[in-house]
Amino acid sequence: MVRFENVSKVYADGTKAVESLNLQVERGELVCLIGPSGCGKTTTLKMVNRLCEPTSGTIQVGGQDVMQVDPVQLRRGIGYVIQQIGLFPHMTIAQNIELVPKLLGWDTPKRASRVDELLPLVGLDPDTFRNRYPRELSGGQQQRVGVLRALAAEPNLILMDEPFGALDPITREALQDELKRLQGKLKKTILFVTHDMDEALRLADRIVVMKEGKPHQIATPDELLRNPKDEFVAQFVGRDRLTDAPELLTVSEVMIKRPVTVDPNHGLAEAIATMRQRRVNALLVTDVDDRLLGIVTAQEIERNRRSLLTVSDLMRSNPPVIHPGASVKEAFERMFLDHLEFLPVVDHQGVLKGLMTHTSLVDVLSHALWPDGGAVSSGGGAA
Ligand SMILES: Nc1ncnc2c1ncn2[C@@H]1O[C@H](COP(=O)(O)OP(=O)(O)OP(=O)(O)O)[C@@H](O)[C@H]1O
Ligand SMILES: [Mg+2]
**Which residue ranges make up each domain of the chain?**
2-243, 251-369
Categorize the per-residue pLDDT at 280 as very low, low, confident or very high, splitting at 50, 70 and 90: confident
Q: Using the atom order of ligand 1, give the atom closest to the CA of residue 195.
A: 25
Q: Which residue has the higher pLDDT, 125 or 367?
A: 125
Q: Using a 6 Å cutoff on CB, does residue 203 contact ligand 1? A: no
- Give the pLDDT of residue 258: 86
Categorize the per-residue pLDDT at 378 as very low, low, confident or very high, splitting at 50, 70 and 90: very low
- Give the pLDDT of residue 382: 39
Ligand 2 midpoint to CA 37 (Å): 7
Q: Using a 6 Å cutoff on CB, does residue 43 contact ligand 1? A: yes
Q: Using a 6 Å cutoff on CB, does residue 53 contact ligand 1? A: no
Q: Using a 6 Å cutoff on CB, does residue 14 contact ligand 1? A: no
Residues in the chain: 383
Q: Using the atom order of ligand 1, give the atom closest to the CA of residue 162.
A: 27
Measured by CA distance, the residue closest to atom 13 of ligand 1 is 17
Q: Using a 6 Å cutoff on CB, does residue 38 contact ligand 1? A: yes
Categorize the per-residue pLDDT at 370 as very low, low, confident or very high, splitting at 50, 70 and 90: low
Task: Label residues 245-264 b or e (16+ Cβ within 10 Å = b).
Answer: bbeebbbbebbbeebbbbbb
Ligand 2 midpoint to CA 210 (Å): 12
Q: Using a 6 Å cutoff on CB, does residue 220 contact ligand 1? A: no
Range 137-165 average pLDDT: 87
What is the overall mean pLDDT for the chain?
86
- Give the pLDDT of residue 146: 87
Nearest ligand to the C-alpha atom of residue 11: 1
Q: Using a 6 Å cutoff on CB, does residue 15 contact ligand 1? A: yes
Q: What is the dihedral of CA 243, 187, 184, 171, to 10 degrees?
A: 60
Is the predicted pLDDT of residue 345 greater than 80, yes or no? yes
Is the predicted pLDDT of residue 220 greater than 60, yes or no? yes
Q: Do domains 2-243 and 251-369 have the same CATH topology?
A: no
Is the predicted pLDDT of residue 169 greater than 80, yes or no? no
Task: For domain 2-243, give the CATH superfamily.
Answer: P-loop containing nucleotide triphosphate hydrolases (3.40.50.300)
Q: Using a 6 Å cutoff on CB, does residue 114 contact ligand 1? A: no
Measured by CA distance, the residue closest to atom 12 of ligand 1 is 17
Rg (CA), the chain: 29
Q: Using a 6 Å cutoff on CB, does residue 246 contact ligand 1? A: no
Measured by CA distance, the residue closest to atom 3 of ligand 1 is 11
Ligand 1 midpoint to CA 360 (Å): 41
The model carries a pTM of: 0.64
Q: Using a 6 Å cutoff on CB, does residue 41 contact ligand 1? A: yes
Range 332-339 average pLDDT: 82
**3-class secondary structure per residue, the chain:** CEEEEEEEEECCCCCEEEEEEEEEECCCCEEEEECCCCCCHHHHHHHHCCCCCCCEEEEEECCEEHHHCCHHHHHHCEEEEECCECCCCCCCHHHHHCHHHHHCCCCHHHHHHHHHHHHHHHCCCHHHHCCCCHHHCCHHHHHHHHHHHHHCCCCCEEEEECCCCCCCHHHHHHHHHHHHHHHHHHCCEEEEEECCHHHHHHHCCEEEEEECCEEEEEECHHHHHHCCCCHHHHHHHHHHHHHHCHHHCEHHHHCECCCCEECCCCEHHHHHHHHHHHCCCEEEEECCCCEEEEEEEHHHHHHCCCCCCEHHHHCEECCCCECCCCEHHHHHHHHHHCCCCEEEEECCCCEEEEEEEHHHHHHHHHHHHCCCCCCCCCCCCCC
d(CA 338, CA 247): 19
Topology (CATH level 3) of domain 251-369: CBS-domain (3.10.580)
